[in-house]
Amino acid sequence: MTDKASHSLISISREDGQSPVAEPLDLGGRVRELRKARGWTLEQAAKQAGLARSTLSKIENGQMSPTYEALKKLALGLEISVPQLFTQPQRDQINGRMAVTRSGEGAAKATVTYEHELLAEVLSRKRMLPYRAQIRARSIDEFDGWVRHDGEEFLYVLTGVIRLYTEFYEPIEMRRGDSAYYDATMGHNVISISAEDATILWVTSLS
């Protein structure tokens, strides 16, 4: 997705003593960064903020200058203050980060078809979203259309047998140790075809 500017200028001074320059803040990019840091899709973030998905998409793409009311809704949905939307994010390089998630201690997020366990949730500004999923669904009919979202995705079967459905390929049966890497904007769904719920590791890119 291309982020174009709806700019708010923040003045900065160079350490070498040159004249102050203005560094533009890409509001759309800032909103997108905050959304992805929370691991939210456009639909999830729009719902949190009480905005239409199309409106949030236009804001992130710089195709719309949000009203103050929309900014307040965005800030409330992202659980920050309005000024924080215009605060230049830190560019300092982070080295040596690590998060350990013990078995069964990930944050649980259940849906009708999947039961997710979010991993490494304590880390902010992740570039990947790793999670373990228990596949409850047994039929493609249990889904309300395709699942699709930004980024790319890696799937690895931990237990059981699954069938991976994708928008442009024939369904694929996968067993323990099998993996797939695909464009997550392509519609995709997964069902368990083993007697027990299958479990898989999913890793989704956030940038």
Query: Which amino acid type is present at position 48?
Result: Q
Q: Which two tokens stand for residue 136?
A: 């409850």
pLDDT at 201 over 50: yes
What confidence category does residue 16 fall into, taking pLDDT thresholds of 50, 70 and 90? Answer: very low
Average pLDDT over residues 162-174: 96
Instruction: Write down the pTM of the prediction.
Output: 0.54
CA dist 186 and 189 (Å) reads: 10
Question: Is the pLDDT score of 105 beyond 60?
Answer: yes
What average pLDDT is seen over the chain?
80
Residue 114 pLDDT more than 70?
yes
Q: What is the pLDDT averaged over residues 89-94?
A: 52
**20-29, 81-90, 143-152: which range is least confident on average?**
20-29
